[in-house]
Amino acid sequence: MKAIRIARTRAGLTQKQLAELVERDQSEISRIEAGKTALTVPLLLSMAKALKAPPGKLLDEIRDKAA
């Protein structure tokens, strides 16, 4: 999910830092950003909070990239 990677870099976080904030493994963040692992709603909400981004905005970006 390119939108997650963009939001993460905008927030100035590494994959490892984001993983720690959402209590996940860095490799899972990497797989999500690469589109190899599905993003669950609870994880999306956790990531949005960690990234200080509205969940709706992340969803819009994800949807726009998929279109």
Residue found by looking up tokens 């599905």 in the block: 38
Q: Which domain range does residue 11 map to? A: 2-66
Segment 50-62, tens digit of pLDDT: 999 888 888 877 6
Domain tally for the chain?
1
pLDDT of 66 reads 59
Please tell me which residue, 3 or 1, carries the higher pLDDT value.
3
Angle between helices 2-10 and 41-51 (to 10 degrees): 20
* Gyration radius of the chain's alpha carbons: 10
Indicate which CATH number applies to the domain containing 32. 1.10.260.40
